[in-house]
Amino acid sequence: MSALPPDYDSEPCRWQGWRSRRDVHDLIAPDLRGPVLDIGCGEGRLASLLADDVSWVGVDSSPTQLATNPHRPVALADMRALPFRDAVFAEVTHLWCLYHVADPMPAIAEAARVLRPGGAYYACTSSRGNDPELMPEGYPATTFDAEDAAEIVGAAFGEVTVERWNQPFSSIETREELRAYCRHHYVPFDRAERVDLPLWLTKRGCLVRAVKR
Ligand SMILES: C[S@@+](CC[C@H](N)C(=O)[O-])C[C@H]1O[C@@H](n2cnc3c(N)ncnc32)[C@H](O)[C@@H]1O
């Protein structure tokens, strides 16, 4: 298993070319009261869904992502060395980002450090069995897949709750959109030419929640 190398500065066309219509952000945003630390905040999808009175801070290691993100304040930093004091945030999120580090444990320990006692932690990721219509052989293992996510987060926080999904989730209507999807998800390009449209993709993944004791 290996980390997915971050290419957000070198290949902006990959991640800018496709965007999910619904995502985990929609699920958790209504629960957040702030102050929220959004680690690996990217373009600011979570921040865009928060109520105006919810205090939010974003962290990301990609200058390109932070330049695209219209929300402030943000910090350019690595998730394994957060530039914040202990116990300052009520909620900390790792959404779709822990698979970019070789070992997620130091990053999760940093998240726990900056979280207040009683504060809520959220991490999400996809399964190696995601998109079986395009990847029947499965995606290559990463360092933070849904198969292991609960165990990894549990090692840092103790008790966790896990919400899993395994259902047809989004339809792709055009060949152009499918090509962009394949590029976005590192799916071999020829798969985009082989399947019939519209294509309903089965999304498999999980959201792990934990509370700092
Ligand atoms: C797939 S994007 C997810 C963005 C956002 N969380 C979302 O859900 O839309 C992964 C993000 O993690 C960031 N990232 C990758 N490695 C990082 C690291 N070591 N420290 C901080 N951010 C990192 C990337 O720059 C990118 O913005």
What is the tens place of the pLDDT at every residue in 157-169? 999 999 999 999 8
- Residues lining ligand 1, CB < 6 A? 6, 8, 40-42, 45, 60-62, 65, 78-79, 95-97, 100-101
The letter for the amino acid at 121 is Y
Residue nearest to ligand 1 atom 3, measured at CA: 96
Domain ranges of the chain: 12-127+136-165+205-211
CATH topology of domain 12-127+136-165+205-211: Rossmann fold (3.40.50)
| 3-state SS assignment for residue 208 | strand
Given a cut of 50, the residues of the chain with pLDDT beneath it are none
> What's the 183 CA to ligand 1 centre distance in angstroms?
17
What is the DSSP track for 94-132?
Answer: EES-GGGSS-HHHHHHHHHHHEEEEEEEEEEEE-TT--T
- The predicted pLDDT at position 170 comes to 78
Between helix 149-157 and helix 104-114 the angle, nearest 10°, is: 40
Q: How far apart are CA 206 and CA 192, in angstroms?
A: 25
Please provide residue 36's backbone torsions phi and psi, each rounded to the nearest 5 degrees: -105, 135
- The predicted pLDDT at position 154 comes to 98
What is the tens place of the pLDDT at every residue in 112-171? 999 999 999 999 999 999 999 999 999 999 999 999 999 999 999 999 999 999 999 878
Residues 6+ apart with CB under 8 A from 169: 22, 200, 201, 202, 203
> What's the 96 CA to ligand 1 centre distance in angstroms?
7
> What's the 168 CA to ligand 1 centre distance in angstroms?
25
> What's the 197 CA to ligand 1 centre distance in angstroms?
31
- The predicted pLDDT at position 26 comes to 97
User: Could you identify the atom of ligand 1 that is nearest to the CA of residue 64?
Assistant: 25
